[in-house]
């Protein structure tokens, strides 16, 4: 049985989605990256392998696609057939579930983006520029400050009838504003709901500035799990917000669909064995010019498979087998 694997490695989560030829999702995994993309990819592949041998040993992987901020690294260590940027992958995933979608709001761990679609393809987009206010890691930080598990953040926000106004232009100021609100006696619910509203406002004023937001609006990415954020966008936009199935792993699903559509004759996938191999990334400083680039080197069982992060291409353009 032919299947296609999509891997989305982001700053906070790493997701794996396996689909069959009818675009059915056979398995989906949402794992925390925890600063070690290599280990989490190996862990994900191991879990997937266990699933396959348990439920359907006839499964063979006919194509692998990677996306997310570590797509290059993921592509190197898995032997991906397609390495695709996360905007295209997310647009693909969203338009599969909501074919007539016009706007995608995607908020992940460190990136937030808006994608404008026409007839199922992305025609315009924007990502947060220099500021990461309004992304998942900000919510994570505030949740731990309030000693709330992030999973319960949304439901607590929904309990508020009177969200407090929290300045959201900058994460640092939002935080001091929040502490101030705590100290003058606002309830946790109102603060949490206020944070959600501030985030939504920040997203719409900065990332989505100047974009023509038309329904249907799809909200996806890790932060779309948050019920408070769903409500905040619904209220700020005055439109229905659609959260598609597999909303947290939809980038991985999108890239799986993309690799299936452009499937290779023979996949370059290195096999599930890579989860047992010794994969290491090290870096060294190139001294050839004053740029002093930190070149990163990936090795599988001691053999160099790729190098990157050099400005001039001296190392990244070399061919490795």
Partner 1 sequence: MTIGIPRALIYWKRPQFWESFFEDLGFRVLLSPETNKELVEAGVRVSDPENCFSTKVFFGHLLWLDGKVDWVFVPRLKTNAEKLEYCPKFFALPDLSKILVRTPILTETFNEKKEPLEGTLAKLGRKIGREKREVKRAREKAFLKEKDEEREKRENFFRKIEEKTTKITLVSHPYNFYDDYVNLRVKEKLEKLGAQTIFIEETPVNETINQRSKVQDKDYPKFHWEFGKEWMEKIDAILDYNITGAIEISSFQCGCDAVLKEFVEKKFKQNSIPFLYLLIDEQTGEAGLQTRLEAFIDTLR
DSSP state letter for 276: G
- Beta-strand relationship, 217-220 and 241-242: parallel
Count the residues of the shown chain that bind partner 1, applying the rule CB under 8 A: 23
The residue from 35, 57, 149, 290 that contacts partner 1 (CB under 8 A) is: 290
Q: Is position 318 an interface residue for partner 1 (rule: CB under 8 A)?
A: no
Tell me the C-alpha distance between 8 and 35, whole Å.
14
Q: Is position 125 an interface residue for partner 1 (rule: CB under 8 A)?
A: yes
Residue 130: CB atoms within 10 A of its CB come to 4
Query: DSSP of 214-268, one letter per residue?
Result: -SSEEEESGGGG-HHHHHHHHHHHTS-EE--TTTTSHHHHHHHHHHHHT--SS--
Which range binds partner 1 by CB under 8 A, 48-56, 172-180, 232-240, 287-295?
Answer: 287-295
DSSP state letter for 160: -
Contact track, partner 1, 51-90, x by CB under 8 A:
------------------x--x-----------xxxxx--
Tell me the C-alpha distance between 169 and 124, whole Å.
24
**Residues of span 85-124 touching partner 1 by CB under 8 A:** 85-88, 121-124
Q: Least distance to partner 1 from the beta carbon of 286, Å?
A: 11
Alpha carbon distances (Å) from 26 to 29, 93, 256? 10, 15, 12
Which range binds partner 1 by CB under 8 A, 43-51, 147-155, 262-270, 285-293?
Answer: 285-293
Q: Is position 155 an interface residue for partner 1 (rule: CB under 8 A)?
A: no
Tell me the C-alpha distance between 186 and 162, whole Å.
10
Q: Is position 141 an interface residue for partner 1 (rule: CB under 8 A)?
A: no
Which is nearer to partner 1, 272 or 308 (by Cβ)? 308
Q: Least distance to partner 1 from the beta carbon of 289, Å?
A: 6
CB burial of 252-270 (b: ≥16 within 10 Å; e: otherwise) equals: bbbbbbbbbeebeeebebb
Which is nearer to partner 1, 88 or 168 (by Cβ)? 88
Burial class (CB in 10 A: 0-12, 13-18, 19+), 310: middle
Which is nearer to partner 1, 166 or 255 (by Cβ)? 255
Which range binds partner 1 by CB under 8 A, 37-45, 233-241, 247-255, 289-297?
Answer: 289-297
Which is nearer to partner 1, 62 or 88 (by Cβ)? 88
Q: Is position 291 an interface residue for partner 1 (rule: CB under 8 A)?
A: yes
Which is nearer to partner 1, 41 or 193 (by Cβ)? 41
Q: Provide the 3-class DSSP secondary structure of residue 169.
A: coil
Q: Is position 292 an interface residue for partner 1 (rule: CB under 8 A)?
A: yes
Which is nearer to partner 1, 1 or 289 (by Cβ)? 289
Q: Least distance to partner 1 from the beta carbon of 45, Å?
A: 23
Contact track, partner 1, 198-227, x by CB under 8 A:
------------x-----------------
Tell me the C-alpha distance between 31 and 192, whole Å.
25
Asked if 38 and 281 count as a contact pair (C-beta separation under 8 A), the reply is yes
What does the binding site for partner 1 look like in residue numbers (CB under 8 A)?
A: 69, 72, 84-88, 121-127, 129-130, 210, 289-292, 309, 311
């Amino acid at each position: 049985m032919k299947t296609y694997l999509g891997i989305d490695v982001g700053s906070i989560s790493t997701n794996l989605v396996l689909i069959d030829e009818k675009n059915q999702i056979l398995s989906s995994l949402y794992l925390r990256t925890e600063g070690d993309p290599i280990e989490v990819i190996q862990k994900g592949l191991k879990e997937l392998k266990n699933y396959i041998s348990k439920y359907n040993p006839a499964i063979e992987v006919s194509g692998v696609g990677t996306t997310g901020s570590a797509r290059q690294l993921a592509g190197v260590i898995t032997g991906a057939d397609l390495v695709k940027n996360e905007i295209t992958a997310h647009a693909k995933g969203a338009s599969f579930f909501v074919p007539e979608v016009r706007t995608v709001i995607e908020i992940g761990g460190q990136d937030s983006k808006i994608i404008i679609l026409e007839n199922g393809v992305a025609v315009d987009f924007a990502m947060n520029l220099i500021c990461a206010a309004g992304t998942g890691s900000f919510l994570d930080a505030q949740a731990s400050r309030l000693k709330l598990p992030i999973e319960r953040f949304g439901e607590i926000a929904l309990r508020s009838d009177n969200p407090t106004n929290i300045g959201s232009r900058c994460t640092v100021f939002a935080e001091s504003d929040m502490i101030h609100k705590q100290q003058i006696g606002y309830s946790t619910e109102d603060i949490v709901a206020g944070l959600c509203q501030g985030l939504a406002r920040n997203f719409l004023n900065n990332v989505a500035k100047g974009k023509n937001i038309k329904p249907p609006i799809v909200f996806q990415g890790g932060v779309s799990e948050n019920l408070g954020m769903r409500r905040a966008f619904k209220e700020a936009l005055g439109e229905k917000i659609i959260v598609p199935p597999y909303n947290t792993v939809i980038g991985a699903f999108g890239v799986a669909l993309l690799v299936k559509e452009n499937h290779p004759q023979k996949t370059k996938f290195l096999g599930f064995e890579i989860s047992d191999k010794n994969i290491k990334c090290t870096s060294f400083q190139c001294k050839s010019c004053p740029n002093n680039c930190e070149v990163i080197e990936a090795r599988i069982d001691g053999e160099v498979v790729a190098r990157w992060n050099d400005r001039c291409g001296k190392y990244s353009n070399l061919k490795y087998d």
